[in-house]
Chains A and B, each alone.
Chain A
C-alpha cells in the first residue's frame, strides 16, 4: 500500500525513516528516490547520509546539529515542492559517484549469458516454474527492469520488473556462494550480484559486467532508479567480455528506446 502522506519513524535518536508505503512498487520507489535526490543535491546541515530502499528513505542525522522537527519540515517542503514542479530540478548532484538516476530516458543494456553451463540454477528454476530453460531466458531478457535499491553487499542491485510468470519462491536454505556477476531471480524480483555470497535466490544467468569495481571511477555503474534490460549472449561472448571487463572496461551500454 502507498500511504497518502509519508510516515516518519524514529530508528533511534539519530536516524529517521521516511516511509512512503509498505510494498515493492515502482511509483512508490520513485517517490523515495525523488526525496533522496533532494538530499544529494542540497545536503542539508546535520544530515550524514541517506539510504534509499524500495519503499522508504533512511536519513542518518546528527540531532545535535539539526532537530527532528526541522528535518521533517524540510522533507515536507521538498515533497510539496516536487509535487508542484518536478521539471525545474536539474541533475547537479553530490560529487563523485554519489549521483542520482539519470533522467535521459535511456536504459542500461546488461549482457547476460543464460547458458546452463554458466547459469548454474536455470534448469532447476525452469523446472520449478514449469518452463523450458530457453523460455525462462527469453522471458527474462524480454522484460524491462528498474534498479530499485542496493542491499546485502556492495553492488548487489535489486531489480523490479520481473514477469509474473518468473516469480519463484526463494529456497528455504541458502545455496552455496553465487558466482561473480550472478543474475538471479527470487520472490518476484531479479537481482544482479557482484561478489560471491550464499543466497536463497536462483542463478539464472551471469553478466560479465562489474556493477562494482574499485578499479573504476565511479566504482558503481547503475544508480538506483535507472532502467535496465538484459541482452542474451553466448558462452564464447561471455568469456571475451569477461576478460575485457576484468581489465576495467565497461561492457554494458546505455541505449535510448527506439
Chain B
C-alpha cells in the first residue's frame, strides 16, 4: 500500500508550507511560506523535509497509511498527543499506521509545524508547494478526509524524542523594529506613540496581516504613497491610523506608508502572538538587527538536541520521568 498521510480532522487554516514562492513577486505573486520560520526549520530539519504542515489554533489530527512515518513537530507551546500520550511541543517520533497524532492549541503560540520525513507527491505551483489560499496557488487548505501521497520516506526513529531548540526559548522582550522606510510620513508624536504604547493583536489577524489595536497614528504627509514593494514584517498605517503588520500571505506591494519593519530575528516570535495578546515595539538600528540575525542563525546552525523519551509511551511514564516540565518551555 502506498504511503499517505491521512487527515482525520483539520481546523481552519491548516496548510502546507515550504520555504515560500520566490522570484515571482514581480508578477504580483505572494511569497507565502511559514509564519514562524525558525519553528518551521526546527521541524523540517529534524526529518530532512522541504515542506511541513502548518497548523493554527484550530488544530488537526493525522494518521499514517501504508508505512511508519518519521514526524517532527515544533512551534508554539501546542498540545501534542500521540494517541493518548502527551508529547512535548517540540518532538520527533515514529507515526505507525493506526496511530493518531493530534495537534491542539496549548498554553501559548499561534502556529505549529508538523514535518513528515517524506516528500509530498503533489504538484508544485511556480516552483513551490506553499499554499496561498487567496490566490489559489498551491494545495488547498487541508480538510478532513484528505490523504497526502508521500514519496522518498525517511527512516522513522525507534522511539519518541524531545527536540530542544534553544532559539525557540520563551522571550517576552519587546519586538524589535527598524523604523521606515516611510517613517518620514509621520509626525514625531506618532513615532513616539508607536514605540511607547502597548498594542493588542486585533481579531482581524491572519496569515496575511496582523491588526494592531491601540492609539490612532496620525500622518503628516497623507496616507497614500505610490505603491512600492513590501516585506513580511512591514508595518503599514492606512488612513484609519490603525497599523497592521504584513505577514507571510501579504500582497507583494502596498500603497500605505510603512512606519517600521519588524526585524527578521523577531518575526517568528511576533507571529506566535495570539489575537488579544499585547505587544510592545522597540526601535533598533540596522547593526543591532543584523547582529540579532547572526545570533539566531548561529543558534539554529548549532542544531537541535534530541532527548529520547520513555520507550513505551504513556502519559504516566512521561510524567514520572519528569521530562515534560523540562521541554514544554517552547513558547510559554
- Pair from one complex: yes
Residues of A whose CB lies within 8 Å of any CB of B are 9-15, 17, 19, 22-24, 36, 48-58, 60, 63-64, 68, 94, 97-98, 149-157, 195, 212, 214, 219-220, 224
A12's contact among B28, B226, B231, by CB below 8 Å, is which? B231
Residues of A within 8 A of B22 (CB): 48-49
Residues of B within 8 A of A220 (CB): 24, 27
B178 at the interface (CB under 8 A from A): yes
* A154 contacts B135, C-beta separation under 8 Å: yes
Docked Cα-Cα span, A4 to B226, in Å, equals 18
Chain B residue with Cβ nearest A218: B27
Docked Cα-Cα span, A156 to B227, in Å, equals 14
* B26 contacts A12, C-beta separation under 8 Å: no
Main secondary structure of the interface of A (DSSP, over half): loop
Residues of B whose CB lies within 8 Å of any CB of A are 22-30, 125-126, 134-137, 178, 180-181, 225-231, 233-234, 251-253, 258, 261-264, 286, 289-290, 293-294, 297
Chain A residue with Cβ nearest B231: A15
* A17 contacts B181, C-beta separation under 8 Å: yes
* A64 contacts B24, C-beta separation under 8 Å: no
* A22 contacts B225, C-beta separation under 8 Å: yes
* B286 contacts A10, C-beta separation under 8 Å: yes
* B251 contacts A151, C-beta separation under 8 Å: yes
Q: List 23 A-B contacts (CB under 8 A).
A: A11-B230, A12-B289, A13-B178, A13-B289, A14-B231, A14-B264, A51-B26, A51-B229, A53-B226, A54-B228, A56-B229, A58-B231, A60-B231, A64-B294, A151-B227, A152-B28, A153-B134, A153-B251, A154-B29, A154-B135, A212-B27, A219-B126, A224-B26
* B264 contacts A150, C-beta separation under 8 Å: no
* B293 contacts A13, C-beta separation under 8 Å: yes
Residues of B within 8 A of A49 (CB): 22-23, 25
Residues of B within 8 A of A214 (CB): 125-126
* A24 contacts B226, C-beta separation under 8 Å: yes
